[in-house]
Amino acid sequence: MSERIVIVGFGPVAARLVEELLPAVRTGRVELTVLGAERAPAYNRVLLGEVAVGRVDATSLTSVDVDGLRAAGVQVELGAEVVAVDRPRRCVVTADGRDHRYDRLVLATGARAFVPPLSGLEHGLPPGVTALRDLEDAARVQRAVAGGDAVVVLGGGVLGVEAALAAREEGATVTLVHTGAWPLSGVLDHGGGCLLAAEMRAAGIDVVAGSATAVRVDATGRFAGLELADGGLVPGELLVVSCGVRARSALAEAAGLAVGRGVRVDHQLRAEDRVYAVGDCAEIRCPVPDCRTCAEGAGPAGLVGPGWRQAEWLAAHLLGNETGPLAPEPPAPILLKARGLDLVVAGAVDADPFDAMEGPWQVAQWADPAHRSYVKIVTYDGVLTGLVCVGLPRTAAELVLLLERGGELPADRASLLNLEVADAPPAAAPGPADTLCRCSGATVGAVESAIDDGCASVADVSSATRAGTGCGSCTERICALLEARQPALVG
């Protein structure tokens, strides 16, 4: 008898889970139902910012063939909002009153944009204010950018910085409003933060450090400006709220499941027997009090890669395959996606070089503010644990490679700067086993093999290996491999 699995949510993580379960659906082992609240099938939210500035067509974000899934036996329902989970009866209830019974339930409800409690936003977002979380939001931003409107971005995190830079590059007048001493203050040290702010100003962005208190609207109720705690006003025609995300866990909480920063799950992604949570709605925090693996349980990261790996693990688990416990992933290096601005940061980088002159912890730092170049390296027993690199792309690539390999740095840290010489080869070229795409986990070797087997474009490689299907930051590396291995086909 087939097992009934119901997935609530149909974003990229749910789509990956469906893909992994599809062979069992085809053989009749699993009866699979997917309930998506949006009318659109699963699409890559990570690239909404690229759609919003007109660089990527919205149709290219869709990651599933709904008709193909239905033909294979998957019951896919779009626009089907789940309003309740009835745990005793083992069913979920949709807004139209229908019950969907399950043997096992997977919550893949994702995350919602966090909207700060500003005066003027108590009853929702007025016209001219968007949180950039769906395709409609992206279309609104695209119209504003195309029209050269004055855009105000609230939030100095990665997505806010990238949105501000992209909108400015495409012709909009942009102001970035952020808390903290500099943009990305949550991850960048003083040197990297100062250079990032300087680069943004040089790009024509007005960077404002301050706390927003209220949204001002005009006589028609449309956004007109952002009021600051110091009494200042940042005028604009569109406000993009980019203040992070929060797990969509209300459904689980209403059902009586444990909720913290997300739906609390153990190392098998179980919220309870027969109920699982995966992706940005899940918080791995097992009930063992002294479990070091998940003692610092985290909420949604807003990254597609960790969710995909959870989906692959959970599919294997649901199908009875032998799997070890799943642990939270360490934060991945942040590679800012912006034209003409190379910035990478990873690990803890707050330490001062002169506070760590002796012992296993050491810090090396080099700065050339006039030429917008900066490096900070944190090591433990010679092994790289944290880095900031601005304006030095080849050095950054080498450091990220060493970080991922857990390799030791050269004794003379300054030698890394020689990599920026035009004809200098990298000190350690990526090998076949090294990760090329952090989102999908595709390795350099997998991509090379796909090219050797006939893949002649980025799209071909993505279809064969999944590389380039996440945030898109590895696309240039895929192009470089295509050019190196099949120069006649690239052109």
The two three-digit tokens of residue 360, written as one number = 């296993």
Residues 207, 254, single domain; the answer is no
Categorize the per-residue pLDDT at 488 as very low, low, confident or very high, splitting at 50, 70 and 90.
very low
pLDDT at 491: 41
Residues 20, 105, single domain; the answer is yes
pLDDT at 357: 66
Q: What is the pLDDT of residues 188-214, one digit of tens each?
A: 999 999 999 999 999 999 999 999 999
Render 334-371 in DSSP notation, one character per residue. EE---TT--EEEES-----GGG-SSSSEEEEEEEEGGG
What span, in angstroms and rounded, lies between the C-alpha atoms of 378 and 208?
30
Between the CA atoms of 151, 154, 155 and 156, what dihedral angle is there, to the nearest 10 degrees? Answer: 50
What span, in angstroms and rounded, lies between the C-alpha atoms of 7 and 117?
32
What span, in angstroms and rounded, lies between the C-alpha atoms of 196 and 186?
13
| Residue 346 forms part of a structural domain | yes
Residues 235, 297, single domain; the answer is no
What span, in angstroms and rounded, lies between the C-alpha atoms of 475 and 343?
17
Of 300 and 351, the structure prediction assigns the larger pLDDT to 351
What span, in angstroms and rounded, lies between the C-alpha atoms of 112 and 305?
18
| Residue 324 forms part of a structural domain | no
pLDDT at 337: 79
Residues 188, 284, single domain; the answer is no
Average pLDDT over residues 395-416: 84
Of 300 and 65, the structure prediction assigns the larger pLDDT to 65
Of 487 and 49, the structure prediction assigns the larger pLDDT to 49
The two three-digit tokens of residue 296, written as one number = 């610092």
Cα torsion 104, 303, 249, 262: sign: positive
Categorize the per-residue pLDDT at 129 as very low, low, confident or very high, splitting at 50, 70 and 90.
very high
Average pLDDT over residues 329-340: 81
- All residues at 6 or more sequence positions from 341 whose CB lies less than 8 Å from its CB, including other chains: 165, 196, 199, 203
Residues 236, 253, single domain; the answer is no
422 has pLDDT over 70: no
| Residue 378 forms part of a structural domain | yes
296 has pLDDT over 70: no
Residues 216, 313, single domain; the answer is no
| Residue 437 forms part of a structural domain | no
132 has pLDDT over 50: yes
CATH number at residue 456: 1.10.10
CATH number at residue 354: 3.30.390.30
164 has pLDDT over 80: yes
Residues 107, 250, single domain; the answer is yes
pLDDT at 60: 78
Categorize the per-residue pLDDT at 350 as very low, low, confident or very high, splitting at 50, 70 and 90.
confident
Of 80 and 401, the structure prediction assigns the larger pLDDT to 80
Average pLDDT over residues 132-152: 88
| Residue 40 forms part of a structural domain | yes
The two three-digit tokens of residue 389, written as one number = 């690199």
What span, in angstroms and rounded, lies between the C-alpha atoms of 391 and 371?
8
User: Residue 150, CB half-sphere, CA atoms under 13 Å: how many?
Assistant: 10
Residues 107, 161, single domain; the answer is no
What span, in angstroms and rounded, lies between the C-alpha atoms of 16 and 283?
19
What span, in angstroms and rounded, lies between the C-alpha atoms of 296 and 330?
11
Residues 197, 218, single domain; the answer is yes
Q: What is the pLDDT of residues 48-92, one digit of tens each?
A: 888 888 888 877 777 789 999 999 999 999 999 999 999 999 999
Categorize the per-residue pLDDT at 452 as very low, low, confident or very high, splitting at 50, 70 and 90.
confident
Helix, coil or strand: residue 402:
helix
- All residues at 6 or more sequence positions from 261 whose CB lies less than 8 Å from its CB, including other chains: 246, 247, 283, 297, 298, 299, 300
- All residues at 6 or more sequence positions from 147 whose CB lies less than 8 Å from its CB, including other chains: none
Lowest-confidence region among 257-261, 428-432, 461-465: 428-432
What's the distance, Cα to Cα, between the start and end of the chain in Å? 54
| Residue 327 forms part of a structural domain | no
425 has pLDDT over 70: no
Residue 445 has a CB neighbour count (10 Å cut-off) of 14
327 has pLDDT over 90: no
Q: What is the pLDDT of residues 354-366, one digit of tens each?
A: 876 677 888 999 9
Average pLDDT over residues 143-168: 91
What span, in angstroms and rounded, lies between the C-alpha atoms of 4 and 10?
17
Q: What is the pLDDT of residues 213-244, one digit of tens each?
A: 999 999 999 999 999 999 999 999 999 999 98
- Among 30, 203, 14, 241, which residue's Cα sits nearest to residue 109? 14
Cβ pair 30, 21 in contact under 8 A: yes
490 has pLDDT over 60: no
295 has pLDDT over 70: no
How many domains does the chain fold into?
4
Element containing residue 482 per DSSP (H, E): helix 475-485
pLDDT at 381: 85
| Residue 117 forms part of a structural domain | no
Helix, coil or strand: residue 404:
helix
- All residues at 6 or more sequence positions from 164 whose CB lies less than 8 Å from its CB, including other chains: 151, 153, 174, 176, 200, 205
301 has pLDDT over 70: no
Lowest-confidence region among 16-30, 81-95, 450-464: 450-464
Residues 135, 146, single domain; the answer is yes
Residues 151, 234, single domain; the answer is yes
Domain end, chosen from 243, 270, 303, is at: 243
In the chain, count H helices and then E strands.
12, 26
Average pLDDT, the chain: 87
What percentage of the chain has pLDDT greater than the value 90?
50
Write down the pTM of the prediction.
Answer: 0.87
CATH number at residue 214: 3.50.50.60
| Residue 119 forms part of a structural domain | no
pLDDT at 294: 65
Residue 187: which domain range? Answer: 129-243
Residues 233, 252, single domain; the answer is no
pLDDT at 201: 95
- Among 317, 307, 308, 376, which residue's Cα sits nearest to residue 348? 376
pLDDT at 240: 95
CA distances from 122 to 117, 151, 215, 248 (A): 7, 22, 10, 19
Average pLDDT over residues 466-482: 79
Average pLDDT over residues 31-54: 87
